[in-house]
Amino acid sequence: MIMVRTLILGSAAGLIAVSGTQAADLPVKAKAVEYVRICSLYGAGFFYIPGTDTCIKLGGYLRVDTTFNGGAHGAPAWSGDLGQQNRYRDYFLSRSRMALTVDTRTATEYGVVRTFGQGDFQFNNFGSSNPTTLTSFPAGAANALNVAGGGYVAVEYLFIQFAGFTFGKSSSAYSTPWNGFPGNINSSLLGGNNTDTGLNNIQYTAEFGNGVSASIGLDDPTVWNRTAVYNLGIPSAIGANGTGSNAYAGTHAPDIVGRIRVDQAWGLFQLSAAAHEVNASYNTLGASAVPNNLSEISGRPESKWGGSVMAALQIKNLPTGAGDDIKFDVSYAKGTTKNVIATSGSSPNFAMFGSSGFGYQSVGFGATTDGVYMPGAGGTGGIALTTSWGVRGAFNHNWDPYWSTSLFGSYSSVRYDGGANDNLLGAGTTTAKGAYCAAFAASHPGQALAGNAAGAYTCNPDFNVSQLGVVTRWTPVKNLTFSGEVQWFHLDQKMSGSSVFTATAPKPNALYEFKDQDTFLLQVRAQRNF
């Protein structure tokens, strides 16, 4: 019996072993490979994220810019060491950037849900050889842009679009599709609005058909759309370069913006409007607008609302050639000067030096503000808003599939109301110009009714700026373009006469003639899109 049982168990074990071996030898069904599928719903370059119904597109560009006698990305020599043309200025400056974009889209019952982001990996000498103006960036990493292997990542657009709404960092609803680039490659063509690197906003766009649409939005003005408010009652309110310290208060309200646009085969027409709150901090402030223990109890001027309007036109299908067009826009602003004196960064102030027939040198100033105020009896009685207007545009021509040229230009004007001597009229409210000139005289002696004699001048902070340039591009192969741009910049300042004053170092204390100024620059670029 024991032998029989042993035989049976042994046979069973053998069968199990054989069957296990045979089972291991059987082919295993492989998991299906999920290939990337092209998504043709939204144009070239999109593909489905595996396992989802969301389409994604990866793209960007690599760009290298070099500017001669100018700042990064074609900024003219209109201030700082470049404006002074001193020994600390850089004769040229280069910037290398790689932009990466991620665009995702999903079809839903509410329409397309879209997300978009762009990061810019870049390096350039963002500082200066002048120890007093050497830039530290980012905070705590001194000279991060002036060392080998340095650089930084800049964030441009980051937004979500859903059911007509846009949430996040995007171009303002106020802006044109071309922003500050009707035909130029530089980022400093003044004369109108520019939000090409985005600002935080919420906007809604309604499409009415036949290319007609309307948008309304709320823009955060903190970083992008505030220039400066000058408190002209603080000690040394106006410095050597004709500019003051910013006395803006905190952001209390978003900018309210909107537009109506008609987009047709012949081109585009757009009307935009914006409202912007101008609010100051305190009446009593220390030097450089720094608060002190008397600030809070000193009161403040009442806030004011400024605004701007813009009309833009693009004309396509010109008889001069296939793809040729004209783009231009006209702007008017009161209390929101950034919508006229706009770059891809902050609004510039102007301090340019040149030759003189009788003084040490000549100088031209231009202070960019949203408003000024002078507290106390005989003051401005509140914030006096600055007025500005501008026009800019370009004609773009394609010579053939490989060569193209754009001729571009702009004209901008900034005005302070009133007269230079309004502060001398006795009791009562003075004007923006009178208050500014009173503060200017404290650091620039010799203000007079007529500025003809050496060391005497008439004060007028108004100014105009003009730009004219041409850029030619060569595209030897698809998505690879080489560009060369020449630009002329002119500062038409309204001071006359001369003054003995201490200019910003390394300039000496000397006799300076107030005079219009000019500068030229050359920018070259190589760019590969992908």
Candidates 143, 77, 349, 91; CA nearest to 135 is 143
Provide the whole-model pTM: 0.90
pLDDT above 80: residue 276: yes
More confident residue, 401 or 426: 401
Q: Is the pLDDT of residue 22 over 80?
A: no
Cα 233 to Cα 375: distance, rounded to the nearest angstrom: 6
Give the per-residue pLDDT at 425.
52
- Residue range 464-473, pLDDT digits in tens: 999 999 999 9
Cα separation, 467 vs 523, whole angstroms? 15
> What pLDDT, on the 0 to 100 scale, is given for residue 228?
98
Segment 30-48 shows an average pLDDT of: 84
Q: Is the peptide bond before 506 cis (omega within 30 degrees of 0)?
A: yes
Residue-level pLDDT at 489? 98
Q: What is the predicted pLDDT for the residue at 36?
A: 83
Q: Would you say residue 138 has pLDDT above 70?
A: no
pLDDT of residue 152: 82
Residue 511 has pLDDT above 90, yes or no: yes
Q: Is 305 a residue whose pLDDT tops 80?
A: yes
Query: What is the three-state SS of 155-198?
Result: EEEEEEEECCEEEEEECCCCCCCCCCCCCCCCCCCCCCCCCCCC
* Range 68-97+182-529 has CATH code 2.60.40: no
Least confident span in 26-30, 41-45, 56-60: 26-30
Of 392, 390, 449, the closest CA to residue 414 belongs to 390
Q: What is the pLDDT of residue 7?
A: 40
Burial group, residue 269, by CB count within 10 angstroms (0-12, 13-18, 19+): middle
Residue 128 has pLDDT above 90, yes or no: no
Q: Which residue has the higher pLDDT, 429 or 217?
A: 217
Given a cut of 70, whether residue 180 has pLDDT beyond it is: yes
- The helices-and-strands tally (H runs, E runs) of the chain is 3, 25
Q: Mean pLDDT over residues 327-336, rounded?
A: 98
Strand pairing class (480-493; 517-529): antiparallel
Residue 147: pLDDT band by 50, 70, 90 thresholds? Answer: low
- Work out the average pLDDT over 70-89: 94
pLDDT, residue 153, reads 86
pLDDT digit string, tens, across residues 379-392: 999 999 999 999 99
- Give the mean model confidence (pLDDT) for residues 25-40: 70
pLDDT band at 126 (very low <50, low <70, confident <90, very high): low
- Residue 12 pLDDT exceeds 50: no
Domains of the chain by residue range: 68-97+182-529
Give the residue-averaged pLDDT of 139-163: 77
Whether 372 has a pLDDT exceeding 90, the answer reads yes
Length of the chain: 530
- pLDDT value, residue 17: 43
pLDDT category, 143, cuts 50, 70, 90? Answer: low
Q: Please return the burial class of 486, using the count of CB atoms within 10 Å of its CB with bins 0-12, 13-18 and 19+.
A: middle
Return the higher-pLDDT residue of 24 and 323.
323
Q: What is the mean pLDDT of residues 397-426?
A: 90
Least trusted range by pLDDT, from 164-173, 254-263, 412-421: 412-421
pLDDT of residue 157 exceeding 50: yes
In the prediction, which pLDDT does 67 show? 97
- Does residue 220 carry a pLDDT above 50? yes
* Dihedral sign for Cα atoms in the order 171, 175, 181, 186: negative
Residue for token digits 């030897």? 476
Q: Would you say residue 108 has pLDDT above 60?
A: yes
**Is the distance from CB of 202 to CB of 217 less than 8 angstroms?**
yes
Whether the per-residue pLDDT at 5 is higher than 50: the answer is no
Cα separation of 134 and 147, whole Å? Answer: 13
Among the ranges given (2-6, 72-76, 411-415, 418-422), the one the predictor scored with the smallest mean pLDDT: 2-6
pLDDT of res. 451: 52
As given in the structure block, the two tokens for residue 104 are 């995702």
Average of per-residue pLDDT across 275-287: 97
Q: Is the pLDDT of residue 316 over 80?
A: yes
Mean pLDDT score, 192-217: 97
* pLDDT for residue 20: 46
- The CA distance from 14 to 6, in Å, is 12
Question: What integer best gives the mean pLDDT of the chain?
Answer: 90
Average pLDDT over residues 303-321: 97
Name the least confident of 138-147, 358-367, 511-520: 138-147
